[in-house]
Structure 1
Amino acid sequence: MFSGIILAILLGVTIAYPNYQQNIPNGRQVPNPCAGVTGLWLGVGHLNPHGAGPRNLFGQDFASSGHSWTHDLCMADSDGDGRSNGVELGDPSCTWKPGQAPSLKATGHPGICEPMNDLKCQSVNANIACS
């Protein structure tokens, strides 16, 4: 019985994170900002590009908003790079709703200060796992 409970908990956690991508515009299309790396950052709210583990600043804000795309979350600049989460995720007017196609492509990462080598970004990005 105990192992069944643990399995159910782990299965729930494993399935839940990919579902969060549906709760933000372009959640499955966020570019990887690491130098020399092409591809996507699938764990948008995490320090690790594949998800799991500690959350980045956007992940903390997303959790605080009830894992929902709210007007306040859209307007916020979680990573402090001078661009709102909405601008970075392709919803600058903050009108996107789950199930809709975003009006624009994602142009940045809302939880990683960009450009990454900028002095203002170094402390924000200290724990980002680029490798």
Structure 2
Amino acid sequence: VVGAAALTIAIALESAMAMPQFLQELPNGSLFKQDLGHPGDDSSQLTDFAEDFDSAGQSWTKSFLCEAKFPGSSMTNGAAFGDPCCTWKKGGKPDFTVTAFTTTPGKATTCAAKGGASSTSSAAGTSSGADDATKGASDATKG
């Protein structure tokens, strides 16, 4: 019985410790909470985005995660998380700072033709926690 209790505590502790670790793998990840990956903060279930993230090796990849569509949205994950050009590297600053959301991003960030971030644009649908994205970088200095 003691062994089972210790295992339960260890699993719960690992789940609590892992969530912030996973968020560090996303642009603007520090702005988000557990419900991005677990519906209703239920760590026994995964959201569609969390399943995609897991399939991408739990890291931000250009072709498999950044350029993929955010589940239930018309925008890419990169546009939703403030990395529309898919150039963000772990530990770096994303092109834009976005408002945290849970199921549907409110606005998409866009990539300028020359490879720099340029602006935000409205996205279809509603947001569960975000109504807009704010620029984290100046248009004039990107490129």
Contact 1:78 1:110 in 2 (8 A): no
TM-score by length of structure 1 reads 0.67
How many corresponding residue pairs?
106
Higher fraction of helix: 2
Bigger Cα Rg: 2
Could you tell me how far 1:6 is from its partner in structure 2? 2.4
Residue type at the aligned position of 2:47: N
Q: Where has structure 1 moved over 3 Å in runs of 4 or more?
A: 107-111
Residues 100 and 57 (structure 1), Cα distance of their counterparts in 2 relative to 1, 3 Å cut: same
TM-score by length of structure 2 reads 0.62
Find out whether 1:58 has 2:38 as its counterpart. Answer: no
Unaligned runs of at least 5 residues, structure 1? 31-40, 117-131
Unaligned runs of at least 5 residues, structure 2? 106-124, 128-143
Aligned with 1:105: secondary structure? Answer: strand
Give identity over the alignment, percent.
Answer: 33
Alignment-derived partner of residue 105 in structure 1: 97
Higher fraction of strand: 2
Residues 88 and 52 (structure 1), Cα distance of their counterparts in 2 relative to 1, 3 Å cut: same
Distance in 1 of aligned mates of 2:92 and 2:72: 27
Higher relative contact order (CA 8 A, sep 6+): 1
Alignment of 1:1-131 (within 5 A): 1-30=3-32, 41-48=33-40, 50=41, 52-71=43-62, 72-106=64-98, 109=101, 111-112=103-104, 114-115=125-126
